[in-house]
A and B are shown apart, each in its own frame.
Chain A
Amino acid sequence: MIENAEFLLTILMSVPLLGIFFSAISKENPESAGRNVLSVGILTVITNLVILMLIGNNLIHGSASLQIMKKFEWLNTPKIEFLFAVDTFSLPLIAAVHIAILLGFFGVLNNSYRQKTLVILALVFLEMMIGYLLAGDLFSFYIFFEAMLLPLFLLVGILGDMHRQDILYRFFLYNLLGASLLFMALCILFNHQHVTIQTINTVVLSRNLEMIVWGAIFIAFLSRIPIWPFHYWISSVNVNISNPLVFIIANILPLTGVYGLIRFFPLTAPGIIAPYLLVLEIISIITMVVIALIGFSHRDVQYKIFSYMTVYYILYLLGALLPTDALLSNIGFSIFSWLIIVAAIEVIISHIEKERQQLGLPEYGILKNAKTISFALSFFVLAAVGLPLSSMFLNNMFIFAGLLTYNLKMAMFILFAIILSSVNLLQHLFYLKYSDNENSEKNVVAIDMPSPIIIVLGATILLIITSFINPLWYME
């Protein structure tokens, strides 16, 4: 245990800034092919992971409240303070975001196009995510909530594939709605009482104002989660990005919506919007089923991964909306493995696709002669579908237990959607692995994977298995 561990939070937030600085000044020439800047990015994330381990070591296991806190005073009139804090729920999420981005960095190891821009923007996004997940006051919460859109917007604009104008249009349209609503709601709250996120439920407002404020907050967070009709912009972004790092970043974004709802409505939703929760649940479940069905009929693997992620994001959302806070740590530890697993799958899939295009191989049965990649992909897909290989397995069971207890009929649809989205992943795995004689002749050339990626994937597999055996291994 370290006494006065608050300084660790300052370091945690400063390291990415330093990383951005060094990335910006790192020298790049055609020979280095973007390796210098990538090394800075990787080092930054690894440093932060070590700091996260130290922070984890200082957290008291079992305590639900915010533990390590750091306060910065900015203005006296109006009084604006930045409060950063961490608890046992946010820590695994921060760690998962770091590892996912680290995997993304390894995924772009051989990328030569705009590598510097890519790494800098990824680090900016990471900084914003850390700030958002640590934010303990409304002001910083809002700033980071909105600011993280900028690097993603630029990344999609620079590295997006076809139809990028249309995608950016949708991106802007949907996020503008969310941003404006949240801004309005927080202005009203900030004007009425100087509240923090922890005391937000104590604010007394007139009935109409309360309806407006909570309704706005609700819609703002939902606009980030792929619930109908907000799913469309996220699916458009996903399907049109082949760069694994950008894909991973785009898929981390919905986490902010789920996290926001959990932070704002820790136990129960405010009374004024509580009646609408049932409507939200119904829409969520319909979205799950619809997206899973569309994913089932879609040939594009990116859409299949999006479909899988959507179903799970909504599962976590529904778990978080249950009138109990006992599931929070289960959600946190399940998301930890889930986010890392999806990032690893995306890195492998994009690598396969790149190799396939370079070697001119058919997609069907491409992994027949690539045993290492096949093993890694099989492991991550099996863990993703919920076999006992990661912390998702038993933690999800608790989430299901909660959902099944409250409404069995609704939960049946959830289960159907989860099964279907998992089958989507399995379907693609066997599509890549399975090969009849005719195709195996074409796939004589075995696709390869650079050793650093294999090592990182191996380490990720160990981490995932460790999370299954003992998810709290880093805590005392």
Chain B
Amino acid sequence: MAINFVFILLFSGILSFFAPKKHVAYLCHLLILGAFGYGIAALSDCFATPDLTVMWEAMPNFHVLLNIVPVAQTKVLALGLLIFGAVSVMYNITSAEEQSKSFLNGLVVFNIVLLLVALCSTNYFQLLAAIGMADVVVYSMLNSYEAKRQYIYGNFLADFLLLNIFAIILGQHDNIEIVDSGGYSTDWHHRDYIAIILLTCILIKSGMAFFHSAYQKMSPLSANRLNFILFMTTPLMGAVILNTLQDVLDISRYSLPIIRIFAILTILWGACGTFVMYNNHRKCSYMAMVFWGLYFCAFSWLSSINPLSFLMFLGMAYLFNTVLSNVGSSMQGKIPVITMLVAAIGYMLAWWNFSGTNIILAIAGEGVIFMLTAHVASTYKNSTIQSILPAISRLWLYITIIGGTSAVFYLIPDILRLLPHIVVIAIFWCIVATHNPFAYRIEKFNTENIQTGDITTSIYETMLLAPLQITGRVLRLTIDIVFLERTVISSIKNAIRFLIYIFRRLHSNSVLSGIIFSLLGALIIAFAYYNGVVK
């Protein structure tokens, strides 16, 4: 009997963590690739595989039904995720830059499984657990402390906000099924609050403008790691939340305008970053920002999202970034420009196919992608850096680019009609890439502040963290030290000291104290007599 592919993926991932580095590492890589292959075959209906449904006794008083059964809408995405997972694993295996390949591959597998869990979730608990665990996986993937720090602050906050939204929904309706959210959304209280908090969570996850710092700090990561994180992990999880909880967002009239504003801001910010950055990896982060901005634009302006089109768009963006991050270390002379041209054509075609129903959006997006890809290619046309990338790595890079672009050509239905346009665009692209008027102007942006500065973190630190710290210090001084220590406890201490002094004086060997002490005794006796006998 066939075993569910998720189990095999998990098993291969776990094995990869504990495998000794030198001896069986290659076996583990093969096992992981085999597991992905098995998953792809299972989802392509090559053979029957059992559904995965588990009763999770997550709490003493509540059981959750974990459901990892891709249905018609999610099946294409699930299949795409497995393909991208396998491609990423191959990038890691062939990379010379990557030191801990087995560990990273294990994390890639876990991340893909958690994305599948989130994608297939039918209840809030499953979704929340998958999102939270995926954050832990990505946190483990990061090997730069500053990136880890920024990432976990942001995503902890996002997860916490999400948990609170679900807590409100659970509290109000005692129902955790996502499918019911559309039906009862009309009765909800705190609608704007829920929608805006949910949007904040999504914006943080997808690294939109003002929430993108964590992704900019990832530039010290290796190229494969960086690109996988930028496209296949938390930002994609943000997109999954956006799609899955669309009904919840729709309960507020502010949701759509906010998404649009942030999407445009993100594209602008990302485009500016891509134009001025010198560091390849930072450039990649900004390119990813543009991609997610475009996706959010499409989400808010298109009537529906086609999963296959989205997959193509995601895949080509990922491939373009992979080329971009490897340029300089792997290619010389005209090769970077040609490789980029192929990837860029694929990228632009994928966007056209994705956003084609809204012509204005499609043209605007094409313009942005055209300018950015041509601009980044122009900066490498004179690259003279010697190749340090192994031949196998380069070979795999070319295979994926050609394969990805061919797949886009194959899957777009009216590609023949578009061919003349593609040729014209390719010619223009080459002209811009070789005679880019902006290429020489960006030198004035080569300053420490622009290249390595982080304005959003500075804003948060100045506007949010510093006031909180000052408030904390003031409160400590006033409440703990001045009020409790110096006033209350000091007063009690002094009062006790005073009482001790009085009683010492009463017990001293003097006539006056004897008289006072006797009078006090008499008073107590009289009080007791009055209360006990007379009254």
Contact = CB atoms under 8 A, between A and B. Distances in A.
A426 B489 CA distance: 33
B167 A401 contact: yes
B129, B135, B152: most-surrounded residue (chain A CB, <10 A): B152
B504 interface: no
A419 B145 contact: no
Nearest to B483: A229
Interface in B15-43: none
B468 interface: yes
Given A382-B136, A435-B145, A415 B60 contact: no
Given A296-B468, A297-B472, A401-B171, A393 B60 contact: no
Contacts of B489: 170, 173, 232
B111 to A, nearest CB: 14
Interface size class of chain B, counting residues whose CB lies under 8 Å from the partner chain:
35 or more
- Interface SS, A side: helix
Contact of B484 (A88, A232, A472): A232
A405 B166 CA distance: 11
Contact of A404 (B125, B128, B171): B171
A388 interface: yes
Nearest to B193: A408
A180 to B, nearest CB: 15
A366 interface: no
Nearest to A385: B156
Contacts of A290: 475, 479
Interface stretch (B157-165, B248-256, B383-391): B157-165
- Interface SS, B side: helix
Contacts of A368: 145
B454 interface: no
B472 A88 contact: no
Contacts, number: 148
A385 B152 CA distance: 10
Contact of A173 (B152, B472, B480, B492): B492
Interface string A345-383: 000000000000000000000001000000000100010
Interface in B264-289: none
Nearest to A88: B60
Contacts of A329: 59-61
Contacts of B60: 61-62, 88, 329-330, 332-333, 471-472
Contacts of B132: 387-388, 393
A170 B62 CA distance: 43
A73 to B, nearest CB: 34
Interface string A423-437: 100100010011100
Contacts of A23: none
A472 B57 contact: yes
Contacts of A395: 59
Interface in A45-103: 61-62, 88
A256 interface: no
A382 B155 CA distance: 11
Nearest to A402: B171
A88, A400, A422: most-surrounded residue (chain B CB, <10 A): A400
Interface in A227-245: 228-229, 232, 235
Contact of B125 (A297, A394, A472): A394
A333 B135 CA distance: 23
B153 interface: yes
B15 to A, nearest CB: 18
Contacts of B139: 378, 382
Given A398-B62, A408-B190, A297 B470 contact: yes
B167 A434 contact: no
Interface of B: 56-62, 125, 128-129, 132-133, 135-136, 139, 145-146, 148-149, 152-153, 156-157, 159-160, 163-164, 166-168, 170-172, 189-190, 193, 468-473, 475-476, 479-480, 484-485, 488-489, 492-493
24 contacts: A88-B60, A173-B492, A232-B480, A293-B475, A298-B472, A298-B476, A330-B61, A386-B163, A387-B132, A387-B136, A388-B128, A388-B133, A394-B62, A396-B163, A398-B167, A404-B164, A404-B167, A404-B168, A405-B168, A405-B172, A415-B160, A419-B157, A434-B149, A471-B59
